Amino acid sequence: MDSPGDTSADRLLAWPGVRRTPTPLLELFQAGGFLNEELCARLIELIDANRRPSTVADPNGDDYFRTSETCDLDAADPAVQELEYLLHAFNGIDPAYGEAVQGQRYAVDQEFKAHTDYFEPGGADFERYCAGPGQRTWTAMIFLNEPGAGGGTRFKQIGKTFQPETGKLLTWNNRLPGGEVNPATIHHGMKVRKGVKYVITKWYRERPWR
């Protein structure tokens, strides 16, 4: 690790069942069954109780770019604490470098079009979101359920789509080896065709959050 806000491939691959996606373009890992069904159900209840329309940092004029609902989860809730404990055991990133856990809900036809998780250097809101904690380093995303159809997460540059599976974790490095942001991390939260999809997202920063 280069900093407390970072992790390493060796650290992640030491977790049982973790697989690295074979591509030179980005560091991308998956782990099936990272969360058990009971914890997933508890997190879904929290999302349903607090969800609101999702927003984007740098609006691009497309009102349908991100149509899901979202919420920040209460760090004091036992389910969130259990999740944070597991993530820290997995990636070793100091919790002080992590943003609040965010939950998302996607109903039929809702999506998050192709985007990156890092803040675009020079973008309208870069200074606002990155002046203190710095750029986003790693993303951890967990599917909490399996909708009836659709709702995959597609990484466009490598032509790889991950289908929702209850408790499945995806995690990736938003940067290149030299520390620059990595455009190959662009990904699309594809439309749900049947049912509802729930997802947890946790982002980490270069410096302590807040």
List the chain domain ranges.
Answer: 9-205
The end-to-end CA distance of the chain, in Å, is 22
Q: Which of 38, 23, 40 is nearest to 159 (CA)?
A: 23
Q: Is residue 27 classed as helix, strand or coil in its secondary structure? A: coil
142 vs 192: CA distance, rounded Å: 16
112 vs 129: CA distance, rounded Å: 20
Q: Are 194 and 109 in contact (CB under 8 A)?
A: no
In percent, the amount of the chain with pLDDT more than 70 equals 93
Q: Are 4 and 96 in contact (CB under 8 A)?
A: yes
Average pLDDT rounded to a whole number, residues 126-153: 95
pLDDT of residue 66: 67
Query: What is the value of pTM for the model shown?
Result: 0.92
Q: Are 116 and 185 in contact (CB under 8 A)?
A: yes
Average pLDDT rounded to a whole number, residues 75-99: 96
Give the pLDDT band (50/70/90) at residue 87. very high
Q: Encoding tokens for residue 82? A: 């259990």
Q: Which of 12, 46, 30 is nearest to 168 (CA)?
A: 30
Average pLDDT rounded to a whole number, residues 17-21: 98
pLDDT at 160 over 50: yes
Least confident piece of the model among 44-58, 109-123, 186-200: 44-58
How confident is the prediction for the chain on average, in pLDDT? 92
Q: What is the pLDDT of residues 190-209, one digit of tens each?
A: 999 999 999 999 999 999 99
Residues in a beta bridge with 189: 112, 153
Q: How far is CA 138 from CA 88, 161, 192, 199, in A?
A: 13, 19, 25, 16
Task: Give the domain 9-205 fold.
Answer: Jelly Rolls (2.60.120)
Strand-by-strand arrangement of the 52-53 sheet: 18-20, 28-31, 169-173, 136-143, 197-205, 102-106, 69-72, 52-53
Amino acid at the residue 105: R
Q: Which residue has the higher pLDDT, 102 or 127?
A: 102
